[in-house]
Amino acid sequence: MRQRLSLAGQLLLAQLAVVLLVVVAVAAVSIAEADASFRRVEGERLRSVGENAAINRTVRLGLGNPLGREALETVAESARAVSGASYVVVTDAAGTVLTGPEAGRAAPMGGSSALSGRSWVGVVETDGKALVAHVPVLDEQDGRFLGLIIVGRAYPTLADQLGSALANLLTYLVLGAALGVGGSLLLARRVKRQTLGMEPREISGLVEHREAMLHGIREGVIGTDSAHRVTLVNDEAIRLLGLRPDAVGRSLLDQGLEPPLLDVLTGRSAGADQVVLSDDRVVVLNRQPVVMRGRAVGSVTTLRDRTELTSLRRELTVSRHTTDTLRAQAHEFVNRLHTIAGLVELGEHDEVVRYITRTSELHESLNREVTRVVRDPSLAALLIAKASLAAEQGVSLTLAEGTDLPPVDDRLAADLVTVVGNLVDNAFDAAGPGGRIEVTVRAYPGEVRVTVTDSGPGVEPALAERVFQQGYSTKTEAAGHHGLGLAMIRLICVHRGGGVSVDGSTFTARLPYAMEAVA
């Protein structure tokens, strides 16, 4: 397996690549500047050589007299030797070369305007690229155009231009390479110190593993910074909290969360296993502050969905109440057996018969009374169990006139068991021994209404809304999570489209239902 470059090596290669690009750019600029300088400086010099030759009297006489043209060779060669030009030639007015090995041929004019009597400097292509100056020769008497002086110099090649700039380019390259190596080492050292010595591939692998773990676990996880902005969140936390998919980077205060939920996430409500109601879910939260170098930089909160467990608990409530009924009846049955045994020992046989008949009629009367008006088995069993428990605690529990509930579907039955059970339990605590509780359960078109009234002191009007908020409870002496029963009742009613209210010591819950839910 090929070994990958370290961070320092990658930075060094990147720096050297940048230096190389800079050197190439400098070379291109240097060549462009050298070319422009060559055209400007050398062009002016060639023009000057041509102008000096053009005002030479011998050249004017030679162009005006065919017999004197032999002297033109001497003047042209002298000008070439003195100036260092590649060639100097003389042409007649028609542009025919009169001197040099090209005599008799038409001179290459390119874009020259010298034939019209004006000097011109430019580049022409003959056997090679050359910079030339065309200077007109004019008659000194009447200014008549006699011919041209053409002074040219071969254009330097690209290799020649690079060679002239090579010394500077090598200096730039060495200096840039030294700065690149030193800078890359210092930068790599600083980056490694900030990344805890990990290489980029290790960081990317760590991020990939973190993302896989974050979105793979079933528990919700949400991280926040010191300003309560979301720094990380997985899909489960988004579902449980009802956050938007783009919650990362946004403040928790702008997410529309319920106050009890926000209190736990921001740390205002501390403690382990905080139970919070979120929409129609029961969520358990554990918040852990994140401290770095002795300073709090945020927090990580895990969330567990206990909605399914709560649903199972509600489904098992019926079984629990049935068990309570059997226990209470067993306790009552034992007391009756002791009574019967005592009467037998006293020889009161007729009284034994009357006692058995009376107690059987009372028990059957209670069952008939409940099942006659409450025809749902689970809720009827709950009320019978609560009546037996009330008798043990010295509390009077009665069904009010007007109670009438036909059979309902399983889901509505489970909701009614939870609502009635919690309201009656709260009434037990409020009424106390010797108190009275009255329960009404009645089905209306599209709605079941539950009313529980006790003889307790009731709820003050100022607390009529607060008692249904999660976390509020009057039970401060016992351990455990309080303030969840009435909040759960409200959650069930609101989720069905109804509600719950309190007026003094009377609690009323409304549970809407589809018409087919009640047979």
User: What's residue 492's pLDDT?
Assistant: 82
Residues of the domain holding 251:
218-305
140 and 31 belong to one structural domain: yes
User: What's residue 199's pLDDT?
Assistant: 65
In a domain, 379, yes or no: yes
User: What's residue 477's pLDDT?
Assistant: 44
The confidence band for 481, taking pLDDT boundaries of 50, 70 and 90, is very low
Cα gap 128→111, rounded to integer Å: 16
The confidence band for 476, taking pLDDT boundaries of 50, 70 and 90, is very low
The confidence band for 76, taking pLDDT boundaries of 50, 70 and 90, is confident
Percentages (nearest 5) of helix, strand, coil residues in the chain = 50, 20, 25
- Tell me if residue 437 falls in helix, strand or coil: strand
Total number of residues shown for the chain = 519
224 and 354 belong to one structural domain: no
The percentage of the chain sitting over the pLDDT mark of 90, rounded to a whole number, equals 2
149 and 33 belong to one structural domain: yes
Through-space distance between the first and last CA atoms of the chain, rounded to whole angstroms: 74
* Alpha-carbon torsion (240, 245, 248, 250), positive or negative: negative
Only one residue has tokens 């852990």, namely 288
User: What's residue 265's pLDDT?
Assistant: 81
Q: What is the DSSP string of 90-137?
A: EEETT-BB-SSTTTTSBPP-TT--GGGT--EEEEEESSSEEEEEEEEE
The percentage of the chain sitting over the pLDDT mark of 70, rounded to a whole number, equals 74
In a domain, 70, yes or no: yes
140 and 281 belong to one structural domain: no
User: What's residue 478's pLDDT?
Assistant: 40
Mean predicted confidence (pLDDT) in 232-257: 80
Cα gap 208→216, rounded to integer Å: 12
31 and 106 belong to one structural domain: yes
Question: Pick from 155, 148, 95, 160: which is nearest to 125 by CA?
Answer: 155
User: What's residue 212's pLDDT?
Assistant: 64
Q: What is the pLDDT of residues 413-452, one digit of tens each?
A: 888 888 888 888 888 888 888 888 899 999 888 889 999 9
User: What's residue 58's pLDDT?
Assistant: 81
Number of folded domains that form the chain:
3
300 and 314 belong to one structural domain: no
86-90, 458-462, 467-471, range with the lowest pLDDT? 467-471
Residue 396 has pLDDT above 60, yes or no: yes
User: What's residue 255's pLDDT?
Assistant: 76
270 and 326 belong to one structural domain: no
- Tell me if residue 206 falls in helix, strand or coil: helix
Q: Left if phi > 0, otherwise alpha if psi is -120 to 50, otherwise beta: which for 197? A: left
30-39, 302-311, 337-346, 493-502, range with the lowest pLDDT? 302-311
The partner residues of 292 in beta bridges, in order of sequence, read 295
286 and 396 belong to one structural domain: no
30 and 113 belong to one structural domain: yes
Do residues 214 and 231 make contact, with C-beta atoms less than 8 angstroms apart? no
User: What's residue 479's pLDDT?
Assistant: 38
Domain boundary residue among 287, 305, 323?
305
331 and 462 belong to one structural domain: yes
In a domain, 511, yes or no: yes
Which is more confident, 404 or 206?
404
CATH number at residue 414: 3.30.565.10
User: What's residue 376's pLDDT?
Assistant: 87
Cα gap 145→60, rounded to integer Å: 10
Domain boundary residue among 282, 305, 328?
305
Long-range CB contacts (within 8 A, 24+) of 302-308: 302/219, 302/220, 302/221, 303/219, 303/220, 303/221, 303/222, 303/236, 303/237, 303/240, 303/241, 304/219, 304/220, 305/220, 305/236, 305/240, 305/281, 306/275, 306/282, 307/280, 307/281, 307/282, 307/283
In a domain, 172, yes or no: no
pTM over 0.85: no
In a domain, 200, yes or no: no
Mean pLDDT of the chain: 76
Do residues 459 and 467 make contact, with C-beta atoms less than 8 angstroms apart? yes
In a domain, 64, yes or no: yes
All residues at 6 or more sequence positions from 243 whose CB lies less than 8 Å from its CB, including other chains: 230, 233, 237, 255
The confidence band for 21, taking pLDDT boundaries of 50, 70 and 90, is confident
Mean predicted confidence (pLDDT) in 282-303: 81
382 and 509 belong to one structural domain: yes
399 and 473 belong to one structural domain: yes
In a domain, 63, yes or no: yes
In which order are the strands placed within the sheet that holds 129-138? 87-92, 145-154, 129-138, 120-125
In a domain, 179, yes or no: no
Domain boundary residue among 244, 275, 305?
305
CATH number at residue 284: 3.30.450.20
60-64, 303-307, 366-370, 513-517, range with the lowest pLDDT? 513-517
